[in-house]
Structure 1
């Protein structure tokens, strides 16, 4: 019961290490506690401990999901907790191996990789690396990416546990290992990666706001579009009066037009007039009808004042049951009335090239895309000089979700070595420097325009290669390490000369120090 209680409390503690609470000291403590709970335990018991830990963690982390429905919050948290049951069993399986701290870190990263890929493109929310903003770990992002930082955080937590367990009997060794770990974490602060170029651009970010309580965009979608157009036209007047610098391009948020601007005549006309007034391209977040008319696309579309619509980015990772209904034929709206709110499925994009906006290569990501590595990595490797995050988040404006997502955007700036421009409907919008610092921002639930001169970047930091490969390699390595005690038992049993044994595979894992 003590282990169950500790597993639950450590899961809650890990959730509190993320925004908006952000007690980052709880990050290594919670992970080290979980590792202690499952160490040398039976696999089924460790899976239960992992499940309890996962429930505490996900219910805390995803508390903001209650605005959609308590049932959605409980269902998603419960499903995601199953991955931590797998992690608990895996951590127990490798806990007796030589070098178990490293194997434990690999098991954790392998489960994070699986959780972020399956099913339906997975859920990456809650990767431990996403809680490391404003900590010494953040400086590792341009070197080893989000996957590498998750690996490093769990490794350091496991080393901390090892040092505590051996502090009395091996004081010198434990002190040396702990000192070496601290030095390794601090190393990137002394060897920074510089990806900046000599080129600069001036970017305008428009936050048009949502009327009323601010969380019902669909009820005011026409007003939201008009607000962004009016704010941009007011910016054009200020530019003409010499009150503010002329931007090179303007960024609007996701869902700044919830109707297809290519089919809605009034929206198309207003966009044309607005882009002509400001005299520079506008990156518009638009819901566009798919060619088959039965589905929709969530796109960032470049509108040029001279040539009209240009490059487009289509959201890679639509939200299951929120933007499309998986297996729609089995989830008829006649049985699940809430699904009627999603009458058409949002299709996934596949583009890997950055948008070209007035000569600048811009990596565009839309809302939850920012939490997935593939959306940004591919565009940076194809020459992106700047990152733009278009997001709505109006539904979550009264929750901690906007702070969690903004923290991820800050870490992406560090990881890519690029300036990140965040445009949100009503918060949180801002400009983030390549070092993760917030250069300028707009207060949530306000209507404002931000104009900022920013530096572009060139080259591909190591994280864009190292990070993805760490995730790919972690899965087979962790699987092999977890199965090693069982395989060793099988080999010993096979070599045994006719002697019967009552040892079962699970007990072999428990007694794996002899393996």
Structure 2
């Protein structure tokens, strides 16, 4: 590699990373997504491992900082840089390995197609590593998560977000090998072009709507209280609960107010635990009896020395009848792993998270009179295993209860809502994504939006929400999809080596 070539290679890789700013919500220019892996591959194919590693690390920093800058809103730039640096190490390893294999394998003729498959598989393997380690990883920012508003998101029905990401990475890898090898003798230009076109167009013509027909519905009211429920809010206890009680009164103004099967409040909707406060219990009992419907809402509960981020199911006649405790609290936001070690490095930052939530062990299935609802809390929507488990356990609708108050008018809430939409397609379930401040919406399994609320305004979505029980291919395959993609990468490597 001549050093003179670095003047264009590193900037090109940085442009590839910067495109992340435009493909994720709110910009939503999803069609640009293949350019992320394509430009980074074009920039690094032919580099040695160490130079590709460095270039990949720089591109990774740009990629992450470009679209998750919202992490700095309440903790400042240090956590953002720490997270982007860790993620960029994984990013660099994937880029370095791909470049090293290109130099070792020296693909020819149809091997270019197989190398594109290998590169895409490495991309997904790198994403799996990043969303798994350490402390449960960072499951955000995967390439497939940018596809909620385009037809490529339909791949989620067959294999979840990993398959969506693989399809996009494969299109990008094919574009890269076309750019790098098209002028070489024997390059299969027609095959590479047709392959990219098929991957891009197949999900657009697949009729998801025809696969999700149902006659069963549940009348659900999802209430957005417009409450300042952030980690560092200093409101008088009971204020957030009162916000949601007042917003719930909007439900009575709708035509379906007398037909309610369930009322859903978001995470942290009750800032006073009604299991320990008679006043809060009385207020919730009163509103539940007024609507004669069960409630589900988020609050902080205690059991001995354990503190949980919980969702309660509240009956208008019996009070609390079920409870879900968040299984995957967010590291360095809801708990601090290895606190003594990290506090020694950054005591001021670590002390901002004084309370550590315990890991819940209850299932997220709420059995109601007419149907079964599955619930998860906030960041758990980004964790593949949790919504799949809900669908496999009999949930006919998924409730995604969240609190986005810490992130203001940033892209975070739109990115989270986009993940919720993809989960609807993946699980074949309607997803009720309800936030304290927005973005709140109800998504159908064909990716359409049934209803949506305006940011930072109290409001209520009251709809007949379709109920589903069929298991999609993505749920059936489950976590094996990542292993299958990795196996396809290994197969590609074997085919290339057998010249």
* Both structures adopt the same fold (TM-score exceeding 0.5): yes
Structure 2 residue aligned with 1:72 = 79
The C-alpha deviation readout for 1:231-281, integer Å capped at 9, x for no partner, is: 324534x47xx6745321000000001332211221111111111111110
Q: Distance in 2 between matches of 1:81 and 1:167?
A: 30
1:293-442 matches, cutoff 5 A: 293=305, 295-332=306-343, 336-352=347-363, 354-442=365-453
1:8-87 matches, cutoff 5 A: 8-68=14-74, 69-87=76-94
21-30 or 455-464, which deviates more: 21-30
2:96 aligned with 1:93: no
Shift of 1:199: 0.8
The answer on whether the counterparts of 1:217 and 1:395 sit within 8 Å (CA) in structure 2 is no
40-49 or 463-472, which deviates more: 463-472
Taking structure 1 as reference, are residues 358 and 333 closer, same or farther at Cα in structure 2, changes over 3 Å only? farther
Shift of 1:200: 0.6
Q: Distance in 2 between matches of 1:200 and 1:171?
A: 57
SS at match of 1:285: strand
Structure 2 residue aligned with 1:139 = 154
Taking structure 1 as reference, are residues 136 and 126 closer, same or farther at Cα in structure 2, changes over 3 Å only? same
2:246 aligned with 1:230: yes
1:128 to 137, 140, 143: 143
SS at match of 1:254: coil
SS at match of 2:351: helix
Shift of 1:30: 2.1
SS at match of 2:33: helix
Structure 1 residue aligned with 2:304 = 292
The answer on whether the counterparts of 2:268 and 2:298 sit within 8 Å (CA) in structure 1 is yes
SS at match of 1:123: coil
Structure 2 residue aligned with 1:209 = 226
The answer on whether the counterparts of 1:197 and 1:458 sit within 8 Å (CA) in structure 2 is no
The answer on whether the counterparts of 2:115 and 2:492 sit within 8 Å (CA) in structure 1 is no
Structure 2 residue aligned with 1:506 = none
Taking structure 1 as reference, are residues 114 and 475 closer, same or farther at Cα in structure 2, changes over 3 Å only? farther
The C-alpha deviation readout for 1:64-85, integer Å capped at 9, x for no partner, is: 1121211122221112111111
Q: Distance in 2 between matches of 1:296 and 1:56?
A: 37
SS at match of 1:197: coil
Q: Distance in 2 between matches of 1:130 and 1:229?
A: 34
1:477-488 matches, cutoff 5 A: none
The C-alpha deviation readout for 1:315-342, integer Å capped at 9, x for no partner, is: 2221111110111233459971343332
Shift of 1:174: 1.5
2:291 aligned with 1:278: yes
335-344 or 129-138, which deviates more: 335-344
1:160 to 175, 178, 183: 175
Structure 1 residue aligned with 2:119 = 104
220-229 or 403-412, which deviates more: 220-229
Taking structure 1 as reference, are residues 272 and 374 closer, same or farther at Cα in structure 2, changes over 3 Å only? same
Q: Distance in 2 between matches of 1:323 and 1:54?
A: 26
Structure 2 residue aligned with 1:493 = none
Q: Distance in 2 between matches of 1:215 and 1:446?
A: 20
- State the TM-score, normalizing by the size of structure 2: 0.89
The answer on whether the counterparts of 1:10 and 1:53 sit within 8 Å (CA) in structure 2 is yes
The C-alpha deviation readout for 1:293-348, integer Å capped at 9, x for no partner, is: 3x311111110111221222222221111110111233459971343332221112
The answer on whether the counterparts of 1:215 and 1:397 sit within 8 Å (CA) in structure 2 is no
Structure 2 residue aligned with 1:219 = 235
Unaligned 5+ segments in structure 1 are 486-511
Structure showing greater Rg: 1
SS at match of 2:283: helix
Taking structure 1 as reference, are residues 314 and 478 closer, same or farther at Cα in structure 2, changes over 3 Å only? farther
Q: Distance in 2 between matches of 1:6 and 1:112?
A: 21
The C-alpha deviation readout for 1:210-241, integer Å capped at 9, x for no partner, is: 269x89645355211111122324534x47xx
Q: Distance in 1 between matches of 2:319 and 2:470?
A: 30
Q: Distance in 1 between matches of 2:448 and 2:167?
A: 22
- State the TM-score, normalizing by the size of structure 1: 0.87
Q: Distance in 2 between matches of 1:393 and 1:221?
A: 19
Give the RMSD, CA atoms, in angstroms: 2.7
Q: Distance in 1 between matches of 2:170 and 2:270?
A: 45
Unaligned 5+ segments in structure 2 are 1-5
